[in-house]
Amino acid sequence: AAGALERGRGAERRNKGTNPLDELPLIPFLLETLNREYSKTDTRTVAAPHFFQHCDAAGYTFFWCHKEKDNKMRCMTANLIGIWLQRMGHVRQYALGVALVIVEERRHDIVALCVLRGRGMPAIVGGHGAAGLREDVAYVAANRERMTDYLCWEGPTISRPVLEGRVLK
């Protein structure tokens, strides 16, 4: 019965229509290429330079997120990131996101960088996926060091030690 239910949900998803992000005009830089570089090569020396060399800032919107959480348990904060990644799953091929849990004593905060195809926050992302994201990276070159540090999960621009991280790609 569970298998039939899953098949029904899959058919329901297919019937909802096309993803509006499929209609965006073609651009030379594709996140698919960056995701491949990010997964298979050194981030600081290969993937991040590839990103900055080929990124078309006019074709993407960049978002920062900082959520202050007073969760005393790491698993509670990690669950929040997992929920965010799950809710963003339907735009995975149009996005790259890095969410980090940064720690100071018993305080676990979430910081994130999200790169989305197109201009602005697509309506398809919805309120849950967009929660806490703010469009703030107008000049990619000026934020190169910070963006690289987030992609690498370490570096001088991250204010506190990184406890863990997760990637949307």
Full domain range(s) for residue 97: 26-168
Count other C-beta atoms under 10 Å from residue 169's C-beta. 17
CA atoms of 110 and 132, how far apart (whole Å): 10
Whether 162 is in a domain gets the answer yes
The Cα angle at residue 91 between residues 12 and 119, in degrees rounded to 5: 130
Whether 14 is in a domain gets the answer no
Lowest mean pLDDT among 39-53, 79-93, 145-159: 79-93
Check if the beta carbon of residue 95 is closer than 8 Å to that of residue 168. Answer: yes
Whether 10 is in a domain gets the answer no
The total of structural domains in the chain comes to 1
pLDDT of residue 119: 82
pLDDT of residue 54: 85
Whether 125 is in a domain gets the answer yes
- Can you read off the two tokens belonging to residue 46? 């290969």
**Average pLDDT value over all residues in the chain:** 80
Whether 156 is in a domain gets the answer yes
Q: What is the CATH number of the domain that holds 102?
A: 3.30.70.1010
Q: pTM score, two decimals? A: 0.80
